[in-house]
Amino acid sequence: MTSNARNDWQQRSKAWAATAVQGISADDTFNQMIIAEAGIQTGEKILDLASGTGNPAVSIAHSMNGEGDVVCTDLTPLMLQTARERTNNLDLEIMRFTAANMTALPFDDSLFDAVTCRFGIMFPDDKVAAAREADRVLKSGGRVAYVVWGAYEENPPFYVSRRAVADYFGTEEGPVPARHSMSTPGTLTSILQKAGLSNVEERELRYQNQVDDIDDYVTRNLKRSFVKQTENLSEAEFASLKDAVIAAWQPFVADGILQVPNYARLGLGWKLS
């Protein structure tokens, strides 16, 4: 990750911390998919990379009934502090926290039963090196589970608000964000195989998030993802922008409920020796 990208994440972490949930995520679907697909069991030692404000680490620890260890890592200490606060609220004593770069992990070899990473592998410059580090710290028979965002045009959570905000301010939408850079099928497979992992699998993860409170959903998204556009707006200006984004979401509303399609890709790999 470049220094500019790292500085950007440091700035964004303030908004993420301010809008983070205080316990289990209201939409926990991807976290539960990771737990199931990675076959995480009570009592195991799990490493979660690029945890941000605690996903999926908090959900993993919550599923383990107080047995095992979950190590939550991120580059940005503020993100980890928010994850720690969520952990304290849920009394998850098996959680541990370490600031770490996924391309140079501060852990011994063969230490973890599983390594998970939700929406983080897209950002290192050397993604194969990151996957090799995951392989290094895995025990024999351990597995990795990486989740990346699918194609931009198949993920309304990103393009709907982005286009609405651009239209509101009369600006360009801009290029497809880096978060979708690994959306092409087979990309994850290639990286995991090059890293030396075995029995690699890749599959789609799709679901619809049902949102009852569209006002809160849009408000959180604007404050988290559009900091530069919203930080100097008056209350009236922010309300006007929010109304424009809510209007853009109307094609996805059915019976008063916002139906938000989500599409990600999952890559699984095993360390056999």
- pLDDT tens digit string along 97-145? 999 999 999 999 999 999 999 999 999 999 999 999 999 999 999 999 9
Q: Does a structural domain hold residue 67?
A: yes
Q: Does a structural domain hold residue 72?
A: yes
Q: How far is CA 155 from its chain centroid?
A: 14
Q: Does a structural domain hold residue 170?
A: no
Q: Does a structural domain hold residue 77?
A: yes
> How many structural domains does the chain have?
1
Q: Does a structural domain hold residue 212?
A: no
- Please give the residue that has the higher pLDDT: either 12 or 70: 70
Q: Does a structural domain hold residue 118?
A: yes
What is the extent of the structural domain holding 40? 3-151+177-207+262-270
What is the biggest distance separating any 2 CA atoms in the chain, rounded to whole angstroms?
60
Cβ-contact 200, 267 below 8 angstroms: yes
Q: Supply the pLDDT for residue 1.
A: 54
Q: Does a structural domain hold residue 111?
A: yes
Cβ-contact 269, 199 below 8 angstroms: yes
Q: pTM of the full predicted structure? A: 0.89
| Residue in 180, 158, 153, 150 with CA at minimum distance from that of residue 245 | 158
pLDDT grade, residue 22 (50/70/90)? Answer: low
For tokens 């989740």, the residue is: 147
Give the domain CATH number at 104: 3.40.50.150
Q: Supply the pLDDT for residue 102.
A: 96
